[in-house]
Structure 1
Amino acid sequence: MASHLDLEEQEQLEQVKAFWKQWGNLITWLITAVLLAYAGWQGWNYYQRQEAAKAAAMYDALDQAVQAADADKAASVFNDLRERYAGTVYAAQGALQAAKVQQDKGQADKAMASLTWAADNASDDSYRDIARLRLAGLQIDAKQYDAAAKSLDAIKSADFAALASDRRGDLLLLQNKPAEARAEFQKALAAMDKTLDYRRLIEAKLATLGVAVPADDAASGAAK
């Protein structure tokens, strides 16, 4: 009986040896690849957390500069932020913040440069569209009407459709195109939430163009 078991065990052992000889290297490589992938994933997550923390700290410094109305400091920090952490949301937010203080300080060209970067490079669609909307406003102020039209045309998000139409209406009015402006203001009013007070501004623009707002629309806006 013992010898029968010994022979059976030896046979099984030989089968294991044969299997390992045929597949051992492949199994070893697969296990190694899985372990390396896991280690790499863990390392990447750690790196991402570290980078996000550094970007957040830099953004805090930029925000402090904005609060202090220090446009030069804000621009300097933003330049570092976009060079080191361009793919983070902090870079996009930093561009908008830097542009705000630059605009407040009368540095329109620098503000447009900051917004142009965000419009082209922000990692999030919403930030790109916000930048385009604000950039169009500065371009209109600078009488760069063709550039403003291109910035507005690049806005694709439905969330900003009403504001883009309103801004486009302003642009068309400045280009002495009242009929086209009226159509854009009407489009903006139709797309905008009826509970928003901003509707009153659009209604006022339409009134100057001889368009009476339906009573139910005006009432819904005033009811807020």
Structure 2
Amino acid sequence: MAKHLDLEEQEQLDEIKHFWKQYGNAITWVLIAVLGAYAAWNGYQYWQRSQASQAAAMYDEVEKVSREGDADKLQRAFDDMKSRFASTAYAPQAGLLVAKTLYESGKVDGAKAALTWVAEKSADAGYASVGRLRLAGLLMDSKAYDEALKVLDTGMTEEFAALQADRRGDILLAQGKKPEAKEQYLKAFKAFDDRTDYRRLVMVKLNSLGVDPLADAAAPVAADKGAASK
């Protein structure tokens, strides 16, 4: 009986040896790949957390310098942020803050440069859209109307469509193109939610151009009722 069991065990051992000889290398490489991917993922997660932590600390520094009002020091801090943490959300946030601070201190060119970076280099499409809206506003103030409209033509997310149309209306109105401005304001008015306060501002702009968007919206309804009664 013992010999029989020994023979069975030997056969099983031989089968295992044969199987390992045939597939052992493949199994080992698969395990190495899986464990390597797991280690790489953990390493990437740690790197991201580290990057975010360092970027947050640097953003705090940008905020501090911004309050101090030292434009040259602020620019250096922002340049450092861009070179080290451009892929984080803190970089475009810093860019918007830097642009605001520089603009308020009269350094319009520096503000434009910061907004241009946010518009073109931000990894976040939302921040890029905000950068484009603000940059278009500065260009409009500088009477660079065509350039301002060009900035709004690309890179805007759907969530900013109403603000995009409103800003276009402002630029076209500044150019004296009232019919085109009305068209953009109406587009913005329709795109804004009824409960949005900004929608009222767009309505004021339309009213100043002799347009009542609420009356225009009600007119087709009244016409349909009249047709139905006939």
Q: TM-score, normalised by structure 2?
A: 0.88
Contact map agreement 1:99 1:110 (CA 8 A) in 2 = yes
Q: Tell me the CA shift for residue 66 of structure 1.
A: 2.2
Deviation of the 1:194 alpha carbon: 2.2
Distance (whole Å) between structure 2 residues aligned to residue 216 and residue 165 of structure 1: 18
Conserved? CA contact 1:132–1:154, under 8 Å: no
Which residue is equivalent to 1:139?
139
- Percent of aligned pairs with the same residue? 51
Q: 1:176 maps to what in 2?
A: 176
Deviation, 1:73, is 2.5
- In 1: Cα distance, 2:79 partner to 2:212 partner: 48
Q: Which amino acid aligns with 2:178?
A: P
Instruction: Output one character per residue of 1:131-166: Cα deviation in whole Å (capped at 9) or x when no partner.
Output: 000000001111111110111112532221121111
- Using a 3 Å threshold, how does the CA distance of structure 1 residues 94 and 183 change in structure 2: closer, same or farther? same
- Bigger shift: residues 38-47 or 55-64: 38-47
User: Counterpart of 2:93?
Assistant: 93
Following TM superposition, by how much is the alpha carbon of 1:216 offset from its aligned partner in structure 2, in angstroms?
11
Determine if contact 1:155/1:164 at 8 Å carries over to the other structure. no
CA deviation after TM superposition for structure 1 residue 70, in Å: 3.2
CA contact (8 A) 2:170 2:181 kept: yes
* CA distance in 2: counterparts of 1:53 and 1:33, whole angstroms: 30
Which is further off, 186-195 or 3-12?
186-195
1:110 maps to: 110
TM-score, length-normalised on structure 1? 0.91
Aligned residues: 217
2:9 alignment partner in structure 1: 9
Alignment correspondent of 2:152 = 152
Q: Is the 8 A contact 2:119 2:132 kept in 1?
A: yes
Aligned letter for 2:208? T
Pairing 1:1-224 to 2, within 5 Å after superposition? 1-214=1-214
Which shifted more, 63-72 or 90-99?
63-72
Runs of 4+ in 1 over 6 A off after TM superposition: none
Contact 1:155 1:161 in 2 (8 A): no
Secondary structure, in 3 states, of the residue corresponding to 1:143? Answer: coil
C-alpha separation between the residues in 2 aligned to 1:33 and 1:56? 34
Question: Structure 2: 5+ residue runs without aligned partners?
Answer: 218-230
Equivalent residue letter for 2:133: L
Cα shift readout 1:38-79 (whole Å, capped 9, x = no counterpart): 112111211111111111100011112223333333221111
Give the 3 Å change call, closer, same or farther, for CA 66–216 of structure 1 in structure 2: farther
- Tell which deviates more after alignment, 208-217 or 130-139: 208-217
Partner of 1:221: none
d(CA) in 2 for partners of 1:196, 1:13: 76
2:203 and 2:3 mapped to 1: Cα distance? Answer: 100
